[in-house]
Chain A
């Protein structure tokens, strides 16, 4: 009875801390927005906020896949190249066959990216190559293939049909299609990670691989699955990216993977696996989106972006480690108290 109560107390506390972290990001976003709004009032207009969300849509989608990989304790550096390659292939297809439905291209992006991701997944899960080595290599392989399929050329806005560009300009209930797509992805993956067996198994694999294997989870399959999903979402992000900027280039999204990792880490995803939530990633990505959108508005040179990103990753990772240690310490104290109550001091 006492144990139950104490356990429940701990759970409440732990979720409190996690909630606290998300609350912390929300406060940070609000303070940041107000400060930027004071410098440049145009920042807080609905038009600008909408533009900011449209620009962040691809990041939002790719970050979900990255989160799943990070939760298993891996990392997917190839996400940006999968995005670029899928974007380029989509661009070439839509250039040659302008009558194709944009919806079909979205599905194509998901499948093509999923295919690329599943190759990476096989290398990691069956080939037992460390994720950082496997995905770093894949990052260069897919980027190289992007150059090869495009023959070094890029695809311009005027080579794309209006119907495809409408993917970014069209609106549903006043929101851009891209925002709606991102929203759908978040709803689906919130359900997947929080309420399905497979989704929970991802966390189990990331928390303790051996334990997960022993209780009968197919760890190789789960590992493959997260890279496949990350690839699929990067592919989807690639189609969204090409539609948004109305061009497919060879160096599309070069360096983008750092932004994605920054968004995840900022959203409380642990790089050593086992922890991370969909709402956290949503907030982390939006924070990155705000910073990227605001820099030119408060007249900061774009050359600051890269250094700023490094600092954000570092600070967020430090905060994550501190929070994790705090939880661990509380857990330990609770356990000690429990033992004292049970056996007397």
Chain B
């Protein structure tokens, strides 16, 4: 009992340090950005900088759960594409927009359910291969349905989801929706027994099975949840773009995983926090925004984000290796 408390505390404090580090980085980026451009500190541009990539932020929340449980899902971006395409097609087929949005949620959940079913119920089938197949399959179906066409022409109120703000305060609707979602996810991960079980699965899956945790059911739930969030992301992304194509959200899976990892989640499981992921999301946005101010091309940003991701994962490992060496000799 006492041992367990100590354990939990140690995990918390180390997560705390990580989040402080992120805060310092955010402050640094903030400072540099405001030196680069005088417009950066304006309320409206700040709000838009924060809300630009938020549709993917919804997937970051559920990705943290998946990483904490020691799994990975590289199919999310493809699920977004399929959900977006099917939503637009069902709207074109005469469904009211509200129902079409439900279609997107349903498609996302369905894809996630399928991923989870295969991964959790068939032993030795790894999440990497299943979601890699999903990566190809889901976007492939979107291509079969739509080819290289685009579908648009949604009702005008639909664009409010991504572009509107709450009653003239200038606070974007999507930001509020995201914060509400993040609060729920944070409470579930850090304050419920379900969340503790997810951590237990990621720390030691076999031990989790033997302590009576329904591992297969929880992993299945997590992948389904991730699909649902991809559906949510599809709704917001399509609203932002005003039309949908099979190639929307290309490369989002890297960005989503990168943000979750930057936020302190370990892909080998057992580590991660929602607060860290949210801070990492802000940091990534500010970085991108700042680079945008300096006209850094998208490809260079790709390189920088890749390097940042590798360094973030490698740094603690190298430190640990250095610490271990003198102790071992």
Task: Give residues in A with beta carbon < 8 Å to B.
Answer: 75, 123, 127-130, 132-134, 136-141, 143-145, 147-148, 258, 261-262, 265, 271-272, 301, 303-311, 313-314, 317-318, 321, 324-325
Please determine whether A127 and B317 come into contact, CB atoms closer than 8 angstroms. Answer: yes
**A217→B139 CA distance, assembly (Å):** 42
Q: Of A132, A271, A306, A317, which contacts B136 at CB under 8 A?
A: A306
Q: Are A143 and B310 in contact (CB under 8 A)?
A: no
- Chain B: number of interface residues, binned into ranges: 35 or more
Chief secondary structure at chain A's binding surface: helix
Contact B132 A133, beta carbon cutoff 8 Å: no
* CB pair A306 B139 closer than 8 Å: yes
Assuming the contacts A303-B147, A318-B122, asked whether A141 and B134 have C-beta atoms less than 8 A apart, the reply is no
Q: How far is the CB of A120 from chain B (nearest CB, A)?
A: 10
Q: How far is the CA of A152 from the CA of B150 in the complex (A)?
A: 25
Q: Is B11 an interface residue (CB 8 A)?
A: no
CB distance from B125 to the nearest CB of A (A): 5
Additional A-B contacts beyond A132-B74, A307-B140, A325-B124 (18; CB < 8 A): A128-B314, A132-B72, A139-B254, A140-B254, A141-B307, A144-B300, A261-B132, A301-B144, A304-B143, A305-B140, A307-B136, A307-B144, A308-B140, A309-B140, A310-B140, A311-B133, A313-B136, A324-B124
Chain A residues whose CB sits within 8 angstroms of the CB of B314 once the complex forms: 123, 127-129
Across the A-B interface, the 8 shortest Cβ-Cβ residue pairs: A307-B140, A310-B137, A306-B140, A310-B136, A144-B303, A147-B299, A127-B314, A141-B306
Judged by DSSP, the binding face of B is helix
For A317, what are the chain B residues with a Cβ–Cβ distance below 8 Å? 125, 129-130, 133
Question: For residue B301, which residue of chain A has the nearest CB?
Answer: A144
Are B126 and A272 neighbours in the complex by a CB distance under 8 Å? yes
Question: Which residues from A are CB-within-8-Å of B134?
Answer: 310
Contact: B125 with A318, CB < 8 Å? yes
In the bound complex, what is the Cα–Cα distance between A269 and B140 (angstroms)? 24
What's the minimum C-beta distance from A119 to chain B, rounded to whole angstroms? 10
| B residues near A130, Cβ cutoff 8 Å | 267-268, 313
A/B interface sample: 13 pairs, CB < 8 A: A129-B313, A132-B128, A134-B310, A136-B74, A137-B306, A139-B254, A148-B300, A258-B132, A272-B124, A303-B140, A304-B140, A305-B140, A317-B129
Expressed in whole angstroms, the Cα–Cα distance for A313 and B129 within the complex equals 8
Given A129, A304, A305, which contacts B317 in the complex, CB threshold below 8 Å?
A129
Shortest Cβ distance from B137 into chain A, in angstroms?
3
Q: A147-B299, A313-B132 are in contact. Are A303 and B143 (CB under 8 A)?
A: yes
